[in-house]
Amino acid sequence: MIEQPSKTLRLNKYLALQLGVSRREADNMIDAKRVTINGKATTLGARFSDGDKIAVDGKVLGSKVAYRYVALNKPSGYVCSRAQQDANPTIYEILPPSLHDLKTVGRLDLDSSGLILLSNDGDFTYEMTHPRFSKVKIYNVRLESALSPLHQQMISDYGVILEDGPSKMQLERMNEVDRKSWIVTMREGRNRQIRRTFGSLGYTVLKLHRTNFGNYAIGDLEEGKFKIVEKL
């Protein structure tokens, strides 16, 4: 799906989408009088209308804005936010400036790691995160203590009642050695849902790592690395 420029789209946002630069870089280009609308130099905060010809250094840009999709293997200890929270770094510190205009598709909490998607496609974000689409998410979870068979059955077959409603997830043992390591499959994505579900039964989650989100899998993507992906 391709977005056409309109009078409601700010010039710096359009340049960022078209050129793969940050909005600050786009503002610098505008401020340096490198950008014109219909042959006339423009100013910071400018907007444009359908049919306007936007040029950078004399080169007219196309009328179509390309959507971008990125998969990141988020390390634990990073927040999925543009603003730093306390002393915790943000994921944008491990992404190049050309991707800073992209927004996260859902989130992983500070202590969680694994697959996080980013995009400038609002429809894609909606389809991936709204409950009506029931996108499957898969996590590797490590507990502090062994999960009893009874509690495994409760979570998988009946669900656990949390303050914001029932929580039901499918659990699969990662190995036959112990009952601390689990593959968790779910179709919801409420705030800290996995941690709260196990916590309600007296268990502490030591590690939570997302491997799959909808049709996307983390595969062999190294921690802290990202790759450009297609819309699936």
Specify the 3-state DSSP secondary structure of 129: helix
Q: Give the separation between CA 152 and CA 174, rounded to whole angstroms.
A: 13
**Enzyme catalytic residues:** 109
CA distances, 207 to each of 108, 140, 194, 210, 230 (Å): 12, 8, 11, 10, 29
Q: Output DSSP code: residue 196.
A: H
Strand order in the sheet with 59-60: 40-41, 35-37, 54-56, 59-60
The phi-psi region of residue 86 (left if phi > 0; otherwise alpha if psi is between -120 and 50; otherwise beta) is: left
* Residue among 143, 96, 95, 132 nearest 116 (CA): 95
Q: Which helix (H) or strand (E) holds 31?
A: helix 23-31
